[in-house]
Amino acid sequence: MKELKDYIRTIPNFPKEGIMFRDVTTVFQDAEGLQLAINSIQESLSNLDFDVIVAPESRGFLFGIPIAYNMKKSFVPVRKKGKLPYETIEESYDLEYGTETLEIHKDSISKGTKVVIIDDLIATGGTIEAIIKLVERLGGEVIKISCLIELPTLKGREKIKDYEISSSVIFDGE
């Protein structure tokens, strides 16, 4: 039986020179890999008291929605600027190869809502940090962050060190 890490393809120099891109499409293309990934993230949330899963487009959606469904929780999307149809708040951040702005609907999180953030990857921590800021500006409380992959050499965990974090696969200097 293969390990979860075996389903993740590494593409050197994408999207630019020097980046080792961790491609999760190969996880989705294999039924066993997909089950391992979803189960791994979902298990990290077992016995956790929370109300909603928040995840960024697009790969975060692919993990967050089935887990929200399985755990009977609601799901809130965080999207790139200009993609959500209702009133939003936004947060800009840096990533390892550029900058981005994320938005969330103003009415998606209420004061006191207990939130789990799910994404495919923690790299520099910029995406997750921006999501935390959005959730907290709306009055939500981030209970946990759970990702499929973590790249510790990019020190993303340092930006979000005040939160409980779990990662299913670690690519440490590989």
Q: Is 137 a catalytic residue?
A: no
Neighbouring C-beta atoms of residue 23, cutoff 10 Å: 15
Contact between residue 82 and residue 19 where contact means Cβ atoms under 8 Å apart: no
CA-to-CA distance for 55 and 132, rounded, in angstroms?
11
CA-to-CA distance for 143 and 174, rounded, in angstroms?
30
CA-to-CA distance for 85 and 120, rounded, in angstroms?
24
Q: Is 9 a catalytic residue?
A: no
Query: Which strand (E) or helix (H) includes residue 35?
Result: helix 31-43
Two tokens at 31? 């039924």
Catalytic residue among 9, 79, 90, 96: 96
Distances in whole angstroms, Cα of residue 101 to Cα of each of 87, 130, 138, 140, 172:
15, 9, 17, 20, 28
Catalytic residue among 3, 9, 17, 59: 59
Active site residues: 59, 96
